[in-house]
Structure 1
Amino acid sequence: MMKFSAYLWLVLFFLAGFVSNAQEKVTVKGIVRNEAGIPVELVNITVLGFSGTTSDFNGKYLIEIPANKSYAFVFSHLEYKNDTVWVKGKPGEIVRLDKRMERGALMLKGVTIEDQYERANSISRIPTKTIKVIPSAAQGIESLLIGQLGVAKGGGELSSQYSVRGGNFDENLVYVNDIEVYRPFLVRSGQQEGLSFTNPDMVSSVLFSAGGFEAKYGDKMSSVLDIKYRKPNEFAGTVSASLLGGSAHIEGSSDNHRFTHITGFRYKTSKYMLNSLDTKGEYNPSFYDFQTYLTYDVNTNFELSFLANIAQNKYTFVPETLETAFGTWNEALNLKIYFDGHEMDKFSSVTGAVSGNYHPSKNRSFKFIASGYQTQEVETYDIQGQYFINELDKDMGSDSFGDSLMNIGIGTFLNHARNYLNARIFNLSHKALIANEDESNILMWGVSYKHEIVSDEINEWQMLDSSGYSLPYSDTAVNLYRTLVSNNAIESDRLTAYIQDAHNFILDSSEINLTIGIRAHYWTLNKQFITSPRINLAYKPNWERDILLRIAAGYYYQPPFYKELRDLDGNIHTDVKAQKSFHIVAGSDLNFLLWGRPFKFIAEAYYKKL
């Protein structure tokens, strides 16, 4: 009993000390908005003589200051006027300090909302606040790209794929927190695709380039999408639901803001949309996704972070009928198919990454990343279809106009598949950035080692019977119309490296940005070593208008991945070399004010040689 009492008093002593220490501080929090009442992100809130923070995606901020002492809170942003507010509070008090920022009457020459480095290097920062209100069946961040220069929708309405200047989706590079994103290999259509990797509830910034991008990005030929997840500074959460699914997320940080967390869960089903397709039946797609991003500041110079994603995509389909009309006015035909059987697909993937970022000063950063990706994919179906081709009545004066007059064809097909694929990808990488004091010279480099293990087992065949005859016809055997049987496994390593140097200098009162870099890649499977030199030049004349002229050129290689190695017969060709393209992108970028609002006008000319 004595030991228990002593232990209880010890606990109460420490709790009392903790509470006492907490009550000696004042918590100041609020929301920063503009004149229209819209939350403003990335506003610097500096507490003179103490510390500071920035507003988050929703304009919110939180900071603690010592009690019983007045501190000056300075609110600053490149687009708005600076303002200072003095705050003093009692121990344990929570002070609500909302701020409305006033837009600057004059735009300082050379000062824009975006980073000048991004503007000069053919990469655009895309606002993310509208992602929730853009109508899209894909429900992904990719819907923001449609309408950007050279970007078109690809893969159908249900797909998150996009095409950039004539390239296919596999030519687009996607990063989330410096980690390359992969998609399922066996997906054949948008209705199987499910959720894209990126969770819109967790996004902080989106950068996109439709060509002429820097050497630090590779190895794809068309575009790069660079996404960063945010580090919250207070507790928050969202919940949304619709007939197409739902999502929820929660975020927060510790009292001292050294630990932050943001976690999201998504569910999607497209069954109600699929019911409108020509092929009628029972559609049951279900797609789940769980992601979490954790950060911890070990000290002021070193940060640890962890990113995890677990995705489960299931697609079940029991077809019943398909009816469609085709042909010409002189030969109007109708096709009707009655189905038996079903299709069951499952795509499961796990992504994990641990990174350490050491920044001894504001102009130096050294990042180390270890990541892994694993996917297990199953595609199975046994579907029989009995089809009838009928001639339609094309006499507009007939009572049976549009109805079937006679049957001109009948047959049966049977499709079978048992396809399995497993892939594991491990990556170790290092990235660094060193800049001088005024950031007029920025040197970047990076190296990466990737180990890939892919195995698949394919068993597909199709039987086609037309009017009692199996095709191809034989009077001694029943032959299959198409067969594909293979069992493959490959294991390989990739080594990549890049270095680039960006210079900013003044020439005759005009500003010039020059970025030169080179990227190298070696793959042990095809023994190919490639180098990709690239250059970006931007010229900002000393004119009254804020205009920037730029040109970018370089070689862009895309080494093959597993899908490009396998031919239509299921054979693996390890001697396939990288695709090669040469880019030239020339354009102008004009920022101007109209009706008191900032506008941007971009014009580009693009040349690509394959």
Structure 2
Amino acid sequence: MKFNYIYLILLLLTGITGFSQSAKVKGVILNAYDQAVSDVTVSAGNVSTTSNSNGFYILDVKADQVIVISYMHVGYQTIKVQERLEVNEDKEINIRLTDTSEQMAELIIDNSDNERASGQVMISPTVIRRIPGANAGVENILKTLPGVYSNNELSTQYAVRGGNYDENLVYVNEIEVYRPFLIRSGQQEGLSFTNTSMLQSVNFSAGGFQAKYGDKLSSVLDMQYRNPTKFKAQLEASMLGGGATVDLVSPNQKWSAIAGIRYRNNALLVKTQDVDIDYRPQYLDFQSIINFNASSKWQWSFLGSVSGNIYDYKPVFGRTDFGTAANPLSMVIQYDGRELDKYQTYFGALKSTFKASENNTYKFIASAYHAKEQEYYDILGQYSIGEVDNNLGSDTYGQVLYPRGVASQLNHGRNDYDALIVSGEIKAQHKIKDNEIEWGVRYVSEDIRDRLVEWEVVDSAGFAITPPIGGSKNNQPYDPYYGPLAPYQNVRATNNATINRANAYLQWSRRTNIGENEIWLNAGLRAHQWIVTANDEKGKAQMVVSPRFQVAIKPNWEKDMIFRLSGGWYHQPPTYREIRAMDGTLNKDVKAQESIHLVLSNDYSFKIKSTPFKLTTDVYYKDLSNVNVYTLENVRIRYMADNNAEAYVYGADIRLNGEIVPGTESWLSFGYLKTEENYNDRGYIARPTDQRLKFGLMFQDYMPAIPNLKMYLNLVYNTGLPGGSPSYADPYDYQLRLNDYKRADAGFSYVFKDESIQTERNWLKNFEEVSLGFEIFNLFNNANAITNTWVRDVYSKSMYGIPNRMTMRTFNVKLNFRM
């Protein structure tokens, strides 16, 4: 009997010990479209469970040993995750099921071949969040990619492969978002729409994109906000502003939400320019996405955003040095007046996803966008040009001597813009054996109220400048001027416009094999019909059809290569900006710009020693017709609105990326392009976005001796763009270029804790990441210019190009908490 008691005690102790040597795994299982997948068998050894209708699962596993957790479901490939858990550890592993081959990896299964075949660049949200920039965010990273151009660090706008800022599609959760209308300079913008703290994935295509994307000529930026699976919080603060983001999830996993608020103040950057100003900007933004998993078949989400930007600008004094070392000159300006701009946007979108079966999914999207913008300014600049004393021993060294003339420039504006854009859309995806069919229909109604009042008077160092269009001939200072005095620029217009659009697309995709070679095929067709009513006059209904295709092949070679050919006949039906001519009048019958686009690409993945690299090469050609000629004033685009031009673009892009430092992605990019236009058969000249050479570098590193100390470098070099000539000049007479744009931003971050650096400090135990950063913007203090101001001197009979310089070297401190 005593033996039996001893045996029983030992048995209980063994059971208790066995119980204590366990751990727990839980998470949410989604498919490639972020939909919950139920009835997935999750097993580890001889224990198993299944996911519920919300995709949630929980499984007890053995601790202190390597285990393999399998996720199996009919219609999806099996996924295996290898883990070693501590005793009583409660670990969350979220899985995305795809049609990729079986992997041994955690969290997100590799789907890179499909992305490579479609020609999209995948950008990690972590990289976006960490890389420094004067306007940090998605656009900051895009500007390091080949074929993407920007010479304005204060702006989130970018041009792609010879296009302009209006030729880029931007989606968040499959919902199209819009750029501001009245914004004319980068320092007015404040915040990009995208809240980087809410991002899950970012895909970018610089051309040859599929028919499911909209009707633009240049690029697609496709972003997804994440679907939260547990409580998280993030706080960022810097000398430029800050933000807070929180992830919320209900206990039953049916409800989840992300809410984020951001504040931005560009005063630190703007005050490094040549102008002494009283600058009080306020940029505030709130975004939220709410998700509801009604069942395994129905999911709902709401994306909302409210933003308010107030730009209060009062210049006081400015000095710009130019000329040569032997003959230094300076322009000194005394300002009077003020600019007060307000930009308010309200955006809401409701999206519902219905999974009728494993192979049939339907999506319903309704959105509304309301923009209220006002731009009011009266600024008088009185300036003089003089020689600078460059005698080192002089008491007046560096001062402006011998003024050559005094001049003035008065700018007045009272601009108001009110736009309401409402849309409804149905999309569907069908899998039929190895084929995938996607289609969609969308209706958009745009209601716009616009008042434009701008005039400018220029007295250029002793004489008045007459209007560039329609003015009397003015040959001063060579001949006296006897014509009437008139504002150099005078535009007045009040417009009411409505644009109703209906568009649809149908595309087919297939992944198959030819022999031992993998091949991806995609073909699609878009149709777009629109009609413009301008000031109660109805235009004619217009319609365009856009066929598009993609072919990719991965040969069965030892070398990992994919070759792509993509293109199509792309159209861009006009927006309100494109139908408003430079004099403010509306041309309701402006046609869609057209582009026959071909892209030939190669992706080559390889290793040097044990370091993985990928080399991507693209060559492209665009033949454009019905071109709507435009001019660029900083970031404002003004169109001729007449379709009286043709153009072409050709170029090549090269990008090499890899983990030069293990665990961190870096890349080097190079691009060349040439684009010219022919307006009214006058001959071909460079377009405003004729960039020519582009070099970009994004590099991450850390100190092996101090792994907590990390370094980030963001470098961009662009050759000069056309735009160095006077704004009133005929571009066929002046093809001057701006100086090259050179910019380097560096960041140094001490990481107390993140996914690769753990610590035993008690105050950090509740945080996933804590870091303190120091950033240097414009590391080499390059004096980049966005435009030139041209001044003619009546005494010396000379014309001077005064550069309008961007920001100089600036320092910033940034603090980041994530939990």
TM-score range, shorter chain: 0.7 to 0.9
Q: Which moved more, 1:532-541 or 1:519-528?
A: 519-528
Residues 299-330 of structure 1: CA deviation (Å, up to 9, x unaligned) = 11011110001111111111001111234567
Say whether residues 1:300 and 2:300 are aligned partners: no
Q: Find the aligned partners of 1:446 and 1:502 in 2 and give their Cα distance.
A: 15
Match of 2:489? 482
Q: Find the aligned partners of 1:606 and 1:536 in 2 and give their Cα distance.
A: 14
Match of 1:205? 201
Q: Secondary structure at the match of 1:568?
A: coil
Match of 1:447? 441
Match of 1:10? none
Q: Find the aligned partners of 2:324 and 2:85 in 1 and give their Cα distance.
A: 79
1:198 deviates by: 0.7
Q: Secondary structure at the match of 1:129?
A: helix
CA distance change for structure 1 residues 505 and 450 in 2, over 3 Å: closer, same or farther? Answer: same
Conserved in 2, the CA contact under 8 Å of 1:470 and 1:478?
A: yes
1:140 deviates by: 1.8
Q: Find the aligned partners of 2:246 and 2:25 in 1 and give their Cα distance.
A: 19
Q: Find the aligned partners of 1:205 and 1:354 in 2 and give their Cα distance.
A: 20
Match of 2:694? none
Q: Which moved more, 1:403-412 or 1:174-183?
A: 403-412
Match of 1:104? none
Say whether residues 1:74 and 2:81 are aligned partners: no
Which of 589, 600, 619 in structure 2 is aligned with 1:586? Answer: 600
Which of 560, 564, 589 in structure 2 is aligned with 1:575? Answer: 589
Say whether residues 1:285 and 2:281 are aligned partners: yes
Q: Find the aligned partners of 2:558 and 2:179 in 1 and give their Cα distance.
A: 47
Match of 1:430? 426
Match of 2:784? none
Conserved in 1, the CA contact under 8 Å of 2:70 and 2:79?
A: no
1:79 deviates by: 13
Say whether residues 1:461 and 2:455 are aligned partners: yes
Q: Find the aligned partners of 2:94 and 2:544 in 1 and give their Cα distance.
A: 53
1:481 deviates by: 3.2
Q: Which moved more, 1:456-465 or 1:363-372?
A: 456-465
Which of 35, 42, 47 in structure 2 is aligned with 1:47? Answer: 42
Residues 379-438 of structure 1: CA deviation (Å, up to 9, x unaligned) = 01111122122234567897756543422211233211111000010000111100135x
Residues 437-479 of structure 1: CA deviation (Å, up to 9, x unaligned) = 5xx2110011100000111111122233467866559989864
Q: Find the aligned partners of 1:293 and 1:405 in 2 and give their Cα distance.
A: 60
CA distance change for structure 1 residues 359 and 322 in 2, over 3 Å: closer, same or farther? Answer: same
Q: Find the aligned partners of 2:274 and 2:126 in 1 and give their Cα distance.
A: 36
Q: Find the aligned partners of 1:188 and 1:213 in 2 and give their Cα distance.
A: 29
Q: Secondary structure at the match of 2:187?
A: helix
Conserved in 2, the CA contact under 8 Å of 1:27 and 1:64?
A: no
1:191 deviates by: 0.3
Letter of the 1:444 counterpart: E
1:86 deviates by: 10
Match of 2:568? 554
Residues 126-185 of structure 1: CA deviation (Å, up to 9, x unaligned) = 221122210012122222223333223x15011112221222221111000111110110
Q: Find the aligned partners of 1:584 and 1:96 in 2 and give their Cα distance.
A: 52
Q: Find the aligned partners of 1:592 and 1:406 in 2 and give their Cα distance.
A: 64
Q: Secondary structure at the match of 2:127?
A: coil
Structure 2 residue runs without a partner (length 5+): 1-21, 29-33, 62-66, 96-100, 467-473, 475-480, 533-539, 625-819
CA distance change for structure 1 residues 467 and 550 in 2, over 3 Å: closer, same or farther? Answer: closer
Structure 1 residue runs without a partner (length 5+): 1-25, 33-40, 54-60, 89-93, 102-106
Q: Secondary structure at the match of 1:130?
A: helix
1:296 deviates by: 0.7
Match of 1:123? 120
Q: Find the aligned partners of 1:547 and 1:476 in 2 and give their Cα distance.
A: 68
1:595 deviates by: 4.3
Say whether residues 1:530 and 2:526 are aligned partners: no
Letter of the 2:357 counterpart: S
Letter of the 2:567 counterpart: A
Match of 2:259? 263
Q: Find the aligned partners of 1:586 and 1:469 in 2 and give their Cα distance.
A: 55
1:125 deviates by: 2.0
Residues 96-150 of structure 1: CA deviation (Å, up to 9, x unaligned) = 237899xxxxx989x9822433221212222211222100121222222233332
CA distance change for structure 1 residues 383 and 65 in 2, over 3 Å: closer, same or farther? Answer: same
Match of 1:493? 500
Letter of the 1:495 counterpart: A
Conserved in 2, the CA contact under 8 Å of 1:46 and 1:74?
A: no
Letter of the 1:511 counterpart: E
Q: Find the aligned partners of 2:296 and 2:524 in 1 and give their Cα distance.
A: 31
Which of 210, 216, 219 in structure 2 is aligned with 1:214? Answer: 210
Letter of the 2:458 counterpart: L
Residues 528-562 of structure 1: CA deviation (Å, up to 9, x unaligned) = 21111111111111222322111112111111111
Cα-Cα RMSD = 3.6
1:331-350 matched pairs, under 5 angstroms = 332-350=328-346
Match of 1:16? none
Q: Secondary structure at the match of 1:299?
A: coil
Match of 1:320? 316
Match of 1:157? 153
1:234-253 matched pairs, under 5 angstroms = 234-253=230-249
Conserved in 1, the CA contact under 8 Å of 2:49 and 2:57?
A: no
Letter of the 1:147 counterpart: T
Q: Which moved more, 1:522-531 or 1:423-432?
A: 522-531
Q: Find the aligned partners of 1:249 and 1:236 in 2 and give their Cα distance.
A: 8
Q: Secondary structure at the match of 2:616?
A: strand
1:583 deviates by: 1.3
Which of 184, 190, 199 in structure 1 is aligned with 2:186? Answer: 190
Q: Which moved more, 1:74-83 or 1:285-294?
A: 74-83
Q: Find the aligned partners of 1:144 and 1:469 in 2 and give their Cα distance.
A: 46
Letter of the 1:516 counterpart: A
CA distance change for structure 1 residues 290 and 98 in 2, over 3 Å: closer, same or farther? Answer: closer
Conserved in 1, the CA contact under 8 Å of 2:69 and 2:80?
A: no
CA distance change for structure 1 residues 334 and 87 in 2, over 3 Å: closer, same or farther? Answer: closer
1:71-110 matched pairs, under 5 angstroms = 74=69, 82-83=81-82, 96-97=90-91
CA distance change for structure 1 residues 486 and 261 in 2, over 3 Å: closer, same or farther? Answer: same
Provide TM-score, normalisation by structure 2: 0.62
Q: Secondary structure at the match of 2:309?
A: strand
Q: Find the aligned partners of 1:108 and 1:30 in 2 and give their Cα distance.
A: 21
Higher relative contact order (Cα pairs below 8 Å, separated by 6+ residues): 2
Letter of the 1:213 counterpart: F
